[in-house]
């Protein structure tokens, strides 16, 4: 077999800011930013934790700014967030004010094109995954990629390899009808792959490892996860797509979610979250778990890592792999599957049952971190953490940060040691945090109908409608919807924003007339 030259790309650091003056872009997706989880790390405070990615496409390389705080520029011009920018050789890139050069004129040696016998020549632009060609450290996506996962264990630390190869798809190019792209994660029981469906959409596909197929418990757990996920149909829960046999194996297909988990966001956040953002995350999360409990599904592993904020700033709940389809269970069936920092006290007692309030306690801990910026129990070992869950009363969040007492009190109620003292549902939890539930509000709202201004209100009504039109135009970008309601002589405009509480503008028509306005 002969060999020939092929182009590769590099990112050059002339000022040696990173300590890596020349970085080969050997991955399909290279993550760039301040966080240690990136591939190319720029340790500068004004560079965002997840600042940008450079992705290899069939027609070249593209640069994508991940909505960074201090922006990304190419040749002096700021690029739009989340919009791919096609790079050319010697383009000058600035992440914040730090300068790098994109180089695409180096060559390496690679195998000559090989015909597959069908008249198509594989020129090597997209190599197939085989045990021999797959890198020891799998290519990682632009942001942490998540899907509701089975218990696949943790990814090997950087610089180490796992002696057990993941279950490579048959023919190394397809799982069922899904084209294999990259390996996202692997562990003792299975592997997760990024694939592409027939319409060109990315999906996450999970397979059991070959040795796990002999493990009756692992197979049963995998089927159980598919049943759990198939019951879920909520915008804030990672979507189930398909489940099918693959040779002697089985595959679960899920949405491929690009985003950042709450744990990573808490780690990178300097201080606490903006209050409105924390409220929006909490509200959507409560809605998702309320829906899951309505389907009689306990998550059993609620923690910040399983709460994802996607690129549209929408919450997506992940990892229903150890969820349970029942209202309660004995601790014997779940004691081995816990995250000590986010585990309810009753789960450490094998004589107690695990029920929905256990999930509420776990989410209360996540919300404590979300609003207060810290875990309520500052301990250094699992044993100390268990003792704290059983015996230590957490400090009120409002004593740490300036937040409403209602939110602080609701979080503390979710963290009651006795499960009977916690909220009975996530909907009740949400009402305590933010006021009346959507259902209660709808029940109290008057019936909507035609706004009819009689002769005495005609002039002032027309004037107010013009004023309301100006207000609606002003808030058009922030607003999701609006309603105009007339009750007797009172006219009320209600604007529903994408974030935060509704804005109400109420006018008493009789009073306005009497005041001569």
Give Cβ neighbours of residue 146 (< 8 Å, ≥ 6 apart).
Answer: 238, 257, 259, 261, 306, 308, 316, 318, 319
- 61 vs 174: CA distance, rounded Å: 25
Please, what's the largest Cα pairwise distance for the chain?
95
What 3-state DSSP class applies to 54? strand
Q: Look up 301 and say whether it is catalytic.
A: yes
Q: How far is CA 339 from CA 112, 151, 303, 324, 385, in A?
A: 50, 13, 8, 16, 10
Token code pair at residue 298: 């306990």
CB-facing half-sphere around the CA of 282: CA atoms within 13 A: 30
DSSP letter at 351 equals T
CA distance between the termini of the chain: 90
90: left (phi > 0), else alpha (psi -120 to 50), else beta?
left
* Helical spans, DSSP H, in 242-381: 262-268, 275-294, 356-372
Q: Which helix (H) or strand (E) holds 63?
A: strand 60-65
Q: 176: closest CA among 113, 273, 228, 244?
A: 244
Long-range pairs for 219-223 at CB < 8 Å and ≥24 separation?
219/250, 221/150, 221/151, 221/189, 221/321, 221/322, 222/150, 222/189, 222/190, 222/250, 222/252, 223/250
- Sequence-ordered list of residues with C-beta below 8 angstroms from that of 294, at least 6 positions apart, any chain: none
Which helix (H) or strand (E) is 8 found in, with range? strand 3-12
Task: Look up residue 265 and give its two tokens.
Answer: 């966001």
Strands 52-57 and 60-65: antiparallel
- Put residue 181 in one of left, alpha, beta given phi > 0 → left and psi -120 to 50 → alpha: alpha
DSSP conformation class of 198: T
How far apart CA 121 and CA 124 sit, in angstroms, is: 9
Cβ-based neighbours of 361, under 8 Å, separated by 6 or more:
344, 345, 414, 415, 416, 419, 422
Q: Which of 65, 96, 301, 359 is catalytic?
A: 301
- Known catalytic residues are 301
């Amino acid at each position: 077999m002969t060999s020939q030259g092929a182009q590769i790309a590099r990112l050059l650091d002339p000022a040696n800011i990173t300590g890596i003056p020349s970085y080969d872009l050997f991955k399909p997706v290279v993550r760039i930013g301040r966080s240690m989880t990136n591939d190319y790390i720029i340790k500068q405070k004004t560079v965002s934790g997840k600042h940008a990615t450079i992705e290899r496409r069939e027609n070249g390389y593209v640069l994508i700014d991940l909505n960074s705080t201090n922006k990304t520029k190419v040749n002096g011009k700021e690029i739009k967030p989340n919009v791919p920018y096609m790079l050319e050789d010697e383009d000058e890139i600035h992440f914040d004010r730090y300068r790098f050069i994109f180089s695409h004129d180096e060559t390496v040696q690679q195998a000559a094109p090989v015909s597959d016998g069908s008249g198509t020549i594989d020129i090597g632009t997209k190599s197939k995954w085989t045990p021999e060609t797959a890198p020891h450290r799998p290519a990682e996506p632009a942001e942490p990629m998540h899907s509701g996962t089975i218990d696949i264990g943790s990814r090997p630390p950087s610089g180490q390899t796992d002696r057990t190869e993941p279950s490579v798809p048959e023919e190394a190019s397809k799982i069922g009808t899904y084209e294999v792209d990259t390996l996202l994660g692997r562990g003792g029981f299975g592997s997760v792959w990024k694939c592409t469906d027939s319409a060109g959409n990315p999906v996450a596909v999970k397979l059991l490892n070959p040795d796990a197929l002999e493990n009756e418990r692992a197979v049963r757990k995998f089927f159980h996860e598919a049943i759990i996920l198939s019951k879920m149909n909520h915008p804030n829960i990672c979507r189930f797509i398909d489940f099918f046999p693959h040779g002697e194996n089985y595959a679960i297909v899920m949405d491929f979610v690009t985003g950042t988990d709450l744990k990573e966001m808490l780690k990178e956040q300097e201080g606490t979250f903006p209050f409105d953002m924390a409220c929006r995350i909490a509200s959507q999360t409560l809605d998702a778990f309320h829906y899951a409990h309505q389907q009689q599904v306990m998550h059993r592993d609620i923690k910040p890592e399983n709460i994802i904020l996607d690129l549209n700033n929408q919450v997506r709940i992940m990892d229903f792999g150890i969820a349970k389809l029942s209202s309660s269970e004995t601790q014997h069936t779940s004691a081995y599957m816990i995250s000590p920092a986010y585990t309810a006290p009753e789960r450490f007692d094998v004589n107690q049952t695990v029920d929905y309030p256990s999930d509420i306690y776990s989410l209360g801990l996540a919300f404590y971190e979300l609003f207060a910026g810290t875990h309520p129990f500052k301990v250094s070992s699992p044993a100390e953490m268990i003792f704290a869950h059983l015996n230590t009363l957490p400090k009120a969040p409002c004593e740490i940060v300036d937040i409403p007492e209602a939110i602080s009190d609701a979080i503390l109620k979710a963290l009651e040691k006795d499960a009977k003292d916690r909220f009975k549902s996530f909907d009740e939890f949400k009402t305590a945090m933010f006021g009346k539930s959507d259902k209660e509000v709808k029940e109290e709202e008057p019936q909507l109908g035609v706004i009819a201004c009689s002769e005495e209100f005609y002039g002032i009504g027309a004037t107010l409608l013009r004023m309301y039109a100006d207000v609606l135009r002003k808030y058009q970008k922030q607003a999701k919807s609006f309603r105009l309601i007339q009750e007797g002589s009172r006219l009320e405009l209600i604007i529903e924003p994408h974030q935060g509480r509704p804005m109400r503008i109420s006018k008493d028509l009789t009073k306005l007339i009497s005041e001569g306005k």
